[in-house]
Amino acid sequence: MLVDVHTREKFTHQSFWKKHINRCVFSSDNLGDDQEYLEYLSQLTKVRITHLVTANTTFEMIDDYLDFQERIGCQFTIKELVGYDDGGMYKKIRDKYPNIFHLDTGNYNVYYMPDNSIRNNFL
């Protein structure tokens, strides 16, 4: 069974990525902090970068992610911040970049849990 790993942790063991991993969905707050790791990871598995839009997100940041996405051949998603004020940035980014994959509010994952159960909500 192939699984998608959703994480913000930087796992560097090649054997982890080569056996049963379909792709890594990596949550990135700042591309500068994650760029080197994501370049490495893209050589081992498929990658989707997810950026949670906050009030600190800028159009320049999104442009950097899009340039990087094209360079390493990965997917890119922006996700709406739920329960906190993002200063209207999510809507502004949706309007300016309609071709980016957007995740609006709601839980969209299926979780494989340590007790071998599969759930729609984490814990």
- Give residue-wise pLDDT tens across range 67-109: 999 999 999 999 988 888 999 999 999 999 999 988 776 555 5
Domain count, the chain: 1
Tell me how far apart the terminal alpha carbons of the chain are, to the nearest angstrom: 22
For the entire predicted model, the pTM comes to: 0.82
The answer, yes or no, to whether residue 34 has pLDDT greater than 90, is yes
Distances (CA, A) of 105 to 42, 52, 56, 93: 28, 11, 19, 15
Q: Whole domain around residue 9: which residue ranges?
A: 3-119
